[in-house]
Structure 1
Amino acid sequence: MRRLLAGLAAGTLLLVTAACGSSGDSGDSGDSGGSSSSSGTTTVQLGLIPIVDVAPVYLGVERGFYAEHGLKLSITTAQGGAAIVPAVVSGQFQFGFSNMTSLMVAQSNNVPVRAVANGIASTGVRGADFGAITVRKGSPLKSAKDLEGKKVAINTLKNINETAVRESVRKAGGDPDEVDFVELAFDQMPAALDGGRIDAAMVVEPALATIKDRGGVEIASPLVDVAQDLTVAMYFTSGQYAQQHPDVVKRFQEATAQSLAYADSHPDEVRRIVTTYTKIPAAVLAKVTLPKWPADPNRSSVEALEKLGERDGLFKSAPDLDELLP
């Protein structure tokens, strides 16, 4: 298990830690239930990726939703779910945020993760989603089928975005095995596309808005191609923590559900709050296509993602969705 967790975290660096929320102790990590203040507030450690997707949590802290449920969040940001998963399982964090494919890979490898609250979903609208395959201005590539033999950037090999791009290529009548996938951070993709170092890029916001602002063109909506209203990511904890601290998990679920609903109905506040924890310029944020934040995961969409992951060889054994999903 130790070697597996180290492998999940390989190449991923934890970044800045910032405490957020109402009054209470700063809290300690480890595998405790989080620290409690004399007022009854419980501090829990939460691992997030500093992207638009997690705006509801920051709004929930600001609006006092977590405080109302007796929680104070101590937030640590990381480059991706590959670092957050082992941190949650080891007890460094009590909760984390990760895409569904990463969670299914972990679960299929007997890493005890348990999704507890919905994260984000695709808009379900082709050509108007928060993720897309893009090409530079003037590119001869017009559809996903044209990606055969071309260099396509994705943020992580053998993960959700590769699976999604492969499905778009299949649906367009192409052979995904003929695509040359290269790993590149989202924020590096616009420049790589402009410079001709890649032929296409599977990007999410705000890199998508940046590419379009430079004249780039969207040629496919891979998250929509996977499934209608795809559940892309969720908040999770470890199986051990869920068993030992069901009350804290329930309070986190309730506060997060309240935060998701608020974010989904207040897009202007979402765009504002994102500027407080990222370096995304407000001018770019104004053009960003926001994801959806539904209250519950779309199980049928996760099942579709699971089948594609199996087809693409991402799992050593089939993930147990009954065990993973709330």
Structure 2
Amino acid sequence: MPALTATSRRQFLTLLGISAAAVSCGTAAAGGGSGGNRTNTLRYQGSAGAVTLAELAADLGHLEDVRLKWVGNTISGPQDIQSAATGQTDFGGAFNGAVVKLAAADAPIKAVISYYGSDTSAYNGFYVLNDSPIRSARDLIGKKIGMNTLGAHSEAMLDIYLQRHGLTPAEIAKAEPLVVPPVNTEQSLRQRQIDVGVLGGILRDKALATGGIRPLFTDYQLLGAFSAGTYVMTERFLKQNPGTARTFVTGVARAIEWSRSAPREEVVARMTDIVGRRNRSEDAAALRYWKSYGIAETAGRITDQEFQLWIDWLAARGDIKKDHVTASGLYTNEFNGYGTGGASSAAASPSVTTSGR
């Protein structure tokens, strides 16, 4: 098992500390030409044992002539969107706070569609063992909390939870977030290498089915239903490939609505089939626990409030200058043609199951 990394939460700034010049050089190669030229291949990073909305959209045939090219897996949203910003991939997805931070570092990116969120079925919980003495926010002082990456969704939830329960900044700093790969979090918690483990989606439900753990709190309990993360593309890519962007974003939107309307068993079966056919030496067993992508808005459309919360949070931490970015400037719904009646809209029913294999 990989060793746990006791990384300072402030080291996230280093991850996103790319210069404007580096971003410019990276995106110069990512558009497939100048003017209105169109690329039909989108490079991306996946997630082991899971099916992203982009992959689901492609398999459903909703990406039409646009093809996805997998270049590897990631467990970190900040790393994924940095790869997109520097032109190593053509799109990436992350927690909206990470998108705010990258944009505040003058990376020329735009969020184009929400791809995950929190609802009654899809949420991240902070779990402890049944016999753990941890019962309250104050009990987290001096404790190790395992999460997939720092400076992103899980650390934001932890900070907000501790703040709302009256802990001072000095006390909050004594809680110790640690980087633990999601597939190892349950094991690390059960072996008492960490005191708290952040578990979400199918990994959470698998751990709950095994038993012996209980939630301290969840992000749904903390904030209610909300879209939490977005796919981003560079402004250069959007300018050079508007047709590709529209096909991609609208296709993902259609996949979101298909996942809501299709029977859960059909969605799980489709995802399991996708994992089996892509031959990446991964275990698809946890997919049977999938319930929802948790996206709040129809077709993944983005609203100001999905970014404003994180602008305020990051500014309060001193990570960004509040007036350096605006919520409305961080995203566009221009390329989301779902339900608009255009050529790439959801003219077909969301329950279409035609395969794009």
* TM-score clears 0.5: yes
Report how far residue 44 of structure 1 moved: 2.2
Write the deviation string for residues 180-217 of structure 1: whole angstroms up to 9, x where unpaired.
Answer: 22222212211111111111112223331233223211
TM-score, structure 2 normalization? 0.72
Q: 2:141 maps to which residue? A: 148
Q: Distance in 2 between matches of 1:41 and 1:298?
A: 28
Q: Find the counterpart in structure 2 of residue 16 from structure 1.
A: none
Give 1:23's aligned residue.
none
Q: CA RMSD for the aligned pairs?
A: 3.1
Identity of aligned residues (%): 18
How far off its partner does 1:89 sit?
Answer: 2.4
| TM-aligned CA distance change 1:96 to 1:255, over 3 Å | same
1:60 aligns with 2:62: no
Distance 1:102 1:272 in 2: 32
Give the AA of the match of 1:263.
S
Per-residue CA deviations over 1:235-282 (Å, capped at 9, x if unaligned) read: 111011112222222222211111111112233333234433373443
1:221 corresponding residue in structure 2: 218
Residue 112 of structure 2 corresponds to which residue in structure 1? 116
Q: 1:45 aligns with which of 42, 45, 59?
A: 42
Q: For structure 1, which segment, 175-184 or 188-197, has the greater mean C-alpha deviation from structure 2 after superposition?
A: 175-184
* Corresponding residue for residue 329 of structure 2: 323
Q: Tell me: CA distance 1:288–1:54, structure 2 relative to 1, closer, same or farther (3 Å).
A: closer
Equivalent position to 2:254, from 258, 267, 284? 258
The alpha-carbon deviation at position 60 of structure 1 amounts to 1.7
Count of aligned residue pairs for this structure pair: 294
Residues of 2 paired with 1:66 and 1:148: CA distance?
Answer: 47
Q: Tell me: CA distance 1:237–1:156, structure 2 relative to 1, closer, same or farther (3 Å).
A: same
User: Is the contact made by 1:122 and 1:129 (CA closer than 8 Å) also made in structure 2?
Assistant: yes
Q: Is 1:245 matched up with 2:245?
A: no
What residue number does 1:19 align with? none
Counterparts in 2 of 1:197 and 1:120: CA distance versus 1, 3 Å:
same
Q: Output the CA distance in 2 between the equivalents of 1:5 and 1:311.
A: 15
1:315 deviates by: 2.6
SS in 2 for 1:286: helix
Are the structure 2 counterparts of residues 129 and 173 from structure 1 closer, same or farther at C-alpha, using a change threshold of 3 Å? farther
Are the structure 2 counterparts of residues 50 and 274 from structure 1 closer, same or farther at C-alpha, using a change threshold of 3 Å? farther
How far apart, CA to CA, are the structure 2 residues paired with 1:144 and 1:289?
A: 28
1:74-127 per-position Cα deviation (integer Å, ceiling 9, x unaligned): 23333123333233223332222222122111100001111112211211x4xx
Is the contact made by 2:47 and 2:73 (CA closer than 8 Å) also made in structure 1? yes
Q: TM-score, normalised by structure 1?
A: 0.78
Q: Paired residue for 2:226? A: 230
The superposition leaves residues 296-320 of structure 1 with CA deviations (integer Å, 9 ceiling, x where unpaired) of: 2343132112212222333355433
Structure 1 residues 222-247: Cα deviation after superposition (integer angstroms, max 9, x where no partner): 3542x332221111110111122222
Structure 1 residue 291, shift from structure 2 partner:
2.9
In 2, the alpha carbon distance for the partners of 1:164 and 1:81 equals 15
Secondary structure of the 1:206 match is helix
- 1:138 equivalent to 2:128? Answer no
Instruction: State the match for 2:162 in structure 1.
Output: 169
Map 1:272-283 → 2, pairs under 5 A = 272-275=269-272, 276-277=274-275, 279-282=282-285
Q: How does 1:78-93 map to 2 (within 5 A)?
A: 78-79=73-74, 80-93=76-89
In 2, are the aligned partners of 1:119 and 1:234 still within 8 Å (CA)? Answer: yes
Matches of 2:165 and 2:271, distance apart in 1? 35
Given candidates 278, 299, 302, the residue that maps to 1:297 is 302
Whether contact under 8 Å (1:231, 1:301) holds in the other structure is yes
Gaps of 5+ in 1: 11-28, 35-39
Counterpart of 1:201, as a letter, is: G
Do the aligned residues in 1 keep the contact of 2:38 with 2:244 (CA within 8 Å)?
no
Partner residue of 2:8? none
- For 1:65, what is the secondary structure of its paired residue? coil
CA contact (8 A) 1:47 1:93 kept: yes
Where does structure 2 lack aligned partners over 5 or more consecutive residues? 1-11, 19-27, 333-357
Distance 1:63 1:311, change over 3 A: same
Partner of 2:21: none
Higher relative contact order (CA 8 A, sep 6+): 2
Taking the aligned partners of 1:320 and 1:232, their CA distance within structure 2 comes to 17
User: Could you tell me how far apart the structure 2 residues matched to 1:165 and 1:44 are?
Assistant: 38
* AA in 2 matched with 1:323: G
Tell me if the contact between 1:5 and 1:86 (Cα under 8 Å) persists in the aligned partners.
no
The alpha carbon displacement at 1:54 in A equals: 5.1
Q: Find the counterpart in structure 1 of residue 99 from structure 2.
A: 103
Q: Distance in 2 between matches of 1:274 and 1:92?
A: 26
Is 1:31 the counterpart of 2:4? The answer is: no
Change over 3 Å in CA distance of 1:49–1:55 after alignment to 2 = closer
- Could you tell me how far apart the structure 1 residues matched to 2:291 and 2:241 are? 37
